């Protein structure tokens, strides 16, 4: 058994882990970064990046299919799935090589192997123990399933399997109408599959503002994407041509393939966490506002802790921990102020509180809202996209939430994030002049209206 001593040992090389490693190294710490798989984790290899590459390929397919409405004569001969996968994998490979180079340039030792926490200051990989003054746990999450569902990787699949398909299924059932389910519904519809989404809660994207969910549902109906909400799964059976699921309502739905997208659970079992005294809740590692566990030398970040499961949240938590350990002043993350984007067609983007959350906090009389239809936005008309900007604000106070639906509107969240996090009043934003014609004007127009001086909308 050999030992290596460093300042910081990080178990998990995904978004939270590698962000922490990069910042810690930048601050002068010696760092060992350990992962059982490739550097970059779920986001880079089987989540954010490859999924968005497929969504962009779907956007290209839709553009070709719908080109006549723009006066362009084009035909769509089909989806060359191997070529799409080559494009997707090429994007991932280039980013992966760049990340490897960055980690190496910072002097971080990357160890590929299965690590186990063996004490409050040490992680063991094979016959080597890596000991640090501090340990950061960042082992992430994996897809969850439901009782009675056997994930065979062929007819009943997770998103990981969906990213590796060599064909477009003729028909797909998607169990779960959250971000993952909605994005794959959009991908497969663009590629030509018949798609049905089943969600147990009353709306698709149930964590978003209800108005945004309804706009998405309206768009999905126009696209021919089927969905059933308020529908609970009760069983699945294999058929000669695929699968058949049963709902508690008695309905049965047939398809070639079933994608299970009912959420992701933390990777924390059999890694030595409990033996080291780390407190957990339903598998999630419990942390305070500074990502500190109950063990003074151990921190935890990313999907392993009960914060929003977003790669950029992992980045923020990793940086916070590195700076805290280096003795720099840090402030807790306001998770409401973190942008959230679903990259479907149309996109659904938000930051801050939903109307329901704002009313719960300030009361119905303490909240005001405004909705600006993208029909009044020139750039959105050019793009032929429908949607809206919805503002939620405290009465006589700052903006509490910004919610946007439409093609490519995720790019508007940078400004919306500043509006929320800097506690801007509608009148503050109304003073800003937005470039014309852009979709960002919709943010400006909405704030103009909420400030009592609407331009391209009725007061």
Which residues are the active-site residues?
436
Nearest-angstrom CA–CA distance, 316 and 335: 10
Q: 310 with 338: CB under 8 angstroms?
A: yes
Cα–Cα distance between 63 and 383 in angstroms, integer? 10
Measured distance CA(286)–CA(282) in Å, rounded: 10
| Contact assessment for residue 303 and residue 266, using Cβ atoms and an 8 Å cutoff | yes
User: Angle, nearest 10°, between helix axes 413-421 and 440-450?
Assistant: 40
Cis amide bond preceding 346, omega within 30: yes
CA–chain centroid gap for 196, Å, is 21
CB 423 within 8 A of CB 453: no
Query: Where does residue 417 fall: left (phi above 0), alpha (psi -120 to 50 degrees), or beta otherwise?
Result: alpha
The tally of CA atoms less than 13 A away on the side-chain side of residue 44 is: 24
- Which residue is associated with the tokens 């977003």? 310
CB atoms within 10 A of CB 49: 18
Using an 8 Å Cβ cutoff, are 47 and 311 in contact? yes
Look-up of token digits 């059982």 = 36
> % helix / strand / coil in the chain, to the nearest 5?
35, 25, 40
- Whole-angstrom distance, CA of residue 169 vs CA of residue 224: 16
Token code pair at residue 185: 């519904």
Contact by Cβ (8 Å): 425, 431 = no
């Amino acid at each position: 058994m050999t030992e290596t001593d460093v300042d910081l040992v990080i178990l998990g090389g995904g978004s939270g882990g590698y962000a922490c490693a990069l910042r810690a190294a930048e601050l002068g710490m010696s760092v060992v970064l350990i992962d059982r798989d490739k550097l970059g984790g779920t986001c880079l290899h089987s989540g954010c990046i490859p999924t968005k590459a497929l969504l962009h390929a779907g956007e290209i397919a839709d553009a070709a299919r719908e080109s006549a409405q723009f006066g362009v004569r084009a035909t769509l001969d089909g989806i060359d799935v191997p070529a799409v996968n080559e494009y997707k994998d090429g994007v991932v490979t280039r980013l992966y090589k760049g990340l490897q180079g960055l980690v190496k340039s910072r002097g971080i030792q990357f160890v590929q192997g299965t690590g186990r926490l063996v004490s409050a200051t040490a992680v063991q990989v094979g016959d080597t123990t890596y000991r640090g003054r501090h340990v950061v746990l960042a082992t992430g999450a994996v897809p969850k399933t439901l009782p009675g569902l056997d994930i065979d990787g062929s007819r009943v699949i997770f998103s990981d399997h969906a990213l590796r398909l060599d064909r477009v299924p003729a028909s797909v059932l998607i169990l779960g109408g959250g971000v993952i389910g909605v994005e794959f519904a959009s991908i497969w519809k663009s590629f030509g599959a018949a798609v049905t989404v089943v969600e147990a809660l009353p709306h698709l994207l149930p964590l978003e503002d209800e108005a945004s969910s309804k706009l998405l549902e309206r768009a999905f109906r126009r696209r021919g994407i089927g969905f059933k909400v308020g529908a609970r799964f009760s069983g699945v059976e294999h058929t000669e041509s695929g699968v058949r699921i049963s709902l508690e309502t008695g309905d049965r739905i047939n398809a070639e393939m079933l994608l299970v997208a009912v959420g992701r659970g933390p990777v924390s079992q059999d890694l030595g966490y409990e033996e080291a005294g780390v407190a957990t809740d339903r598998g999630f590692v419990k942390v305070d506002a500074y990502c500190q566990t109950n063990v003074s030398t151990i921190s935890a970040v990313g999907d392993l802790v009960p914060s929003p499961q977003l790669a950029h949240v992992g980045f923020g938590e990793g940086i916070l921990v590195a700076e805290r350990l280096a003795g720099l002043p840090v402030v807790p993350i306001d998770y409401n102020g973190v942008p959230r984007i679903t990259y479907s067609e149309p996109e659904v983007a938000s930051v801050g509180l939903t109307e329901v959350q704002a009313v719960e906090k300030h009361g119905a009389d303490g909240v005001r809202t405004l909705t600006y239809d993208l029909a009044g936005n020139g750039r959105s008309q050019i793009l032929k996209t429908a949607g809206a900007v919805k503002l939620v604000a405290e009465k006589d106070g700052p903006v509490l939430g910004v919610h946007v639906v439409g093609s490519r509107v995720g790019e508007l969240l940078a400004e919306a994030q500043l509006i929320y996090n800097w506690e801007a009043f509608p009148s503050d934003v109304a003073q800003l002049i937005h470039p014309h014609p852009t979709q960002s004007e919709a943010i400006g127009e909405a704030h103009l209206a909420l400030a009592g001086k609407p331009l391209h909308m009725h007061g």
